[in-house]
Chain A
Amino acid sequence: MKLESQREVQNTREKLRLLEEHYQHKREQPAEDEHVRELTLRSLKKLINQLKEEIARYEAHAAKPAKSE
């Protein structure tokens, strides 16, 4: 997915915040099955990293100075 506007970035940041809160909460909870929890945490982390990359790509592109003629 490629972010294309500031509004999309804001929405993605909000999703990222929810995911990070949830990840932290999950890490602190006792697990019924440690293996299942480990795989779940890995999935959450993967998605968190994907969203961070998308935001960073947008910001890197937005910060790039315009080419002079």
Chain B
Amino acid sequence: MIPDFNQYGCLPRGVYRATLDEVEQRFGRQSELRRVQMASLRWLVDLAKPAGVRRLVINGSFVTDIFEPNDVDCVLLMVQGFPEDREAEPDLAEGLPFLDIHLVDQEDFDFFTESVFATDRHQVPKGMVEVIL
């Protein structure tokens, strides 16, 4: 379950697992911009699954209480042999509208989720959401 925002408008520290429908319910309906960002996120999931992405974590202003987020930061875990479906890779690598996509290996997935994206610009710990693939 995705917890309430803290006093800074962010999720509390941690990575919270949620289905895509739960993500939409919580973050994807509050403004027109959020609705189109959510549509891009669904598109990303449709590409990530056949490509063999193992985990997908959403970070940044999309998972805060900001009415119109700048973009949706996404960290995607790849494993050896990626991509399973070569046709899915170009769109993932070149990007999708409103999404800032980071394709990384296990070491960097941990580095991003436990260090780089784990605090905000004030170094206050913040949470992220993992989409259940």
Residues on A lying within 8 angstroms of B by beta carbon are: 1, 3, 7-8, 11-12, 15, 18-19, 22, 26, 32-33, 35-37, 39-40, 42-44, 46-47
Which residues in A have their C-beta under 8 angstroms from that of B82? 33, 35-36, 39
Residues on B lying within 8 angstroms of A by beta carbon are: 61, 70, 78-82, 93, 101-105, 107-108, 111, 115-116, 119, 121-123
Pick the contact of B103: A7, A26, A33, A43 (CB < 8 A): A43
**SS of A interface (majority):** helix
| Chain A: minimal CB distance from B74 (Å) | 10
Whether A39 lies near B122 (C-beta < 8 A) is: no
Whether B123 lies near A46 (C-beta < 8 A) is: no
Whether B80 lies near A36 (C-beta < 8 A) is: yes
Which residues in A have their C-beta under 8 angstroms from that of B119? 11
Whether A36 lies near B122 (C-beta < 8 A) is: no
Whether A22 lies near B103 (C-beta < 8 A) is: no
Which residues in B have their C-beta under 8 angstroms from that of A46? 102
Complex Cα gap A18–B116 (Å): 8
Whether B123 lies near A40 (C-beta < 8 A) is: no
Complex Cα gap A36–B83 (Å): 9
User: With A33-B82, A35-B82, A36-B82 in contact, do A8 and B121 touch (Cβ < 8 Å)?
Assistant: yes
Q: Which residue of B lies closest to A8 (CB)?
A: B121
Complex Cα gap A12–B106 (Å): 24
Which residues in B have their C-beta under 8 angstroms from that of A12? 121
Whether B70 lies near A26 (C-beta < 8 A) is: no
Which residues in B have their C-beta under 8 angstroms from that of A37? 105
